[in-house]
Amino acid sequence: MKLWDKNEPIDELFERFTIGKDKELDLELAYFDVLGTIGHVKMLRKIALLSSEEEIALLGELEEIKKQAWAGNFKIEDGIEDCHSQIEFLLTQKLGDIGKKVHSGRSRNDQVLTALKLFTKHNIEEVLKRVNSLFELFQQKSEENKEILMPGYTHMQVAMPSSFGLWFGAYAENLLDDLLVFKSAYQVADKNPLGSGAGYGSSFPLDREYSAEEIGFSTINHNVIYAQMTRGKHERIAAFAISSLAGTLAKYAMDVCLYAGQDFGFLLLDQAYTTGSSIMPHKHNPDGFELVRAKCNKLQSLPGELSLILANLPSGYHRDLQVLKESYMPAFQTMKDCLDITIAMTEKLAVEKELIAASKYDLLFTVEEVNQLVIDGVPFRDAYKRVAEKIKAGAYEPSRKVNHKHTGSIGNLSNDRVRVAFKEEYSWFQLA
């Protein structure tokens, strides 16, 4: 069964090529297609294209299909093109001609787009629940380790004193900016395209605002041609949000892999989250963080991949857009998996508390000595030269004291402000 079938023969090779991975991916999309169809049925009843009895019958069957889809029991039968055709087939099989009425006033174009936008909204919410958990964990680790010093680096060389608290806190604030990008992506997806048809509206008196409210969109795409233009656009914007968060996780994973190595020795990995070597019995490898790094680096290519598919398309629907699903939809699950394992591994991550005592970190404190001379009245440039000369002569001895906690560079005065800002933005999603 195909929603566009006109009883004309189709070449099998052509059919297999054009369907692609739709059957596989649509198992994830079916639940959201049912949500859109429920809202559409209610709207058809409101404008009198369905009777009350027909609405009740359709909604009853759709609720059953929705339960199946949510439980993972929805199947697309042989000979049926996709989840949209399967749902209509099930309705028609149970209800006869009533099931055939469900497509009035919509095209498969706006039907698919509605389901994809609902899929996007739901998955952004699922990603951000995990982001919230990781944010809280970074904040907790930051507070627990705010007095434990670690070397800061520039150009991969020892630079100035830092703290593990400041390092964990940096990634917490990083998530705040990622949250802002997801907010934009969510707002773009949160507009109802249903009723735009194939991109040119409908002669039926559709109430698009009503269906938007019933389905769970905050507003509509007003221009029906633009509604179709959002196929590809909303995915690409969401892909930028995924890429932004992936960049945060990849950098964090790289830091952990580097700092957990014996040459640095800053961090201690829980052995339950490491793997061994087939020939070297001493090895405890950070494979989890390495895979997060690789998977998130791959996710950072997603906006470019989608942009190239969309690059030379004019307005209107084109079958090219189907290919977006193959990269876009699985990206959310990859992102959720990376967040889950990052949270689990970070919870067990420990820091080396006596790290800074090693003599190789003596030069970390040169700026502190320069600053103290300035406080004592020495011009900065003269203080800088004086300390440089001591280093050159081998006469520099570090005090290992850090005197600028009030700036937040070692302590964590910024954590409370970041928490307030993050919670304010995250609460927007909880209210949306």
DSSP string, 330-355: HHHHHHHHHHHHHHHHHHT-EE-TTG
Residue where the block lists tokens 């004592």: 376
Residue where the block lists tokens 């023969």: 9
Does the structure show a pLDDT above 50 at 4?
A: no
C-alpha span between 254 and 260 (Å, rounded) = 10
Single-letter code of the amino acid located at 165:
G
Beta strands, E only, 98-141: none
Closest to 34 (Cα-Cα) out of 59, 51, 6: 59
Between helices 324-347 and 287-299, what is the axis angle to 10°? 150
Q: Residue 346 contacts by C-beta under 8 Å, 6 or more apart in sequence?
A: 134, 137, 138, 141
Give pTM, 2 decimals: 0.92
Q: How confident is the model at residue 5 (pLDDT cuts 50, 70, 90)?
A: low
C-alpha span between 377 and 211 (Å, rounded) = 72
Residue where the block lists tokens 């944010």: 135
Judge contact between 45 and 58, C-beta under 8 A.
no
Give all domains of the chain, ordered by start, each with its CATH number: 12-103 (1.10.275.10), 116-147+163-205+222-355+416-431 (1.20.200.10), 359-392 (no CATH)
C-alpha span between 306 and 322 (Å, rounded) = 11
pLDDT at 207: 97
pLDDT at 53: 97
269-286 mean pLDDT? 89
Per residue in 30-40, pLDDT (tens digit) is 999 999 999 99
End-to-end CA distance of the chain: 37
Please report which helix (H) or strand (E) contains residue 179, including its range: helix 164-189
Judge contact between 87 and 37, C-beta under 8 A.
yes
371-391 mean pLDDT? 96
Does the structure show a pLDDT above 50 at 364?
A: yes
C-alpha span between 77 and 80 (Å, rounded) = 6
Judge contact between 177 and 420, C-beta under 8 A.
no
Q: What percent of the chain has pLDDT over 90?
A: 81
Residue where the block lists tokens 């508390």: 353
C-alpha span between 306 and 330 (Å, rounded) = 13
Single-letter code of the amino acid located at 13:
L
pLDDT at 406: 44
332-360 mean pLDDT? 95
C-alpha span between 332 and 121 (Å, rounded) = 11
Distance of CA 389 to the CA centre of its chain: 51
pLDDT at 283: 87
| Average pLDDT of every residue of the chain | 92
Per residue in 251-260, pLDDT (tens digit) is 999 999 999 9
Judge contact between 204 and 103, C-beta under 8 A.
no
pLDDT at 232: 96
Phi, psi of 42 (to 5 degrees): -60, -40
Enter the tokens of residue 150: 């670690």
Does the structure show a pLDDT above 60 at 1?
A: no
Does the structure show a pLDDT above 80 at 400?
A: no
Per residue in 76-100, pLDDT (tens digit) is 998 888 899 999 999 999 999 999 9
Does the structure show a pLDDT above 60 at 19?
A: yes
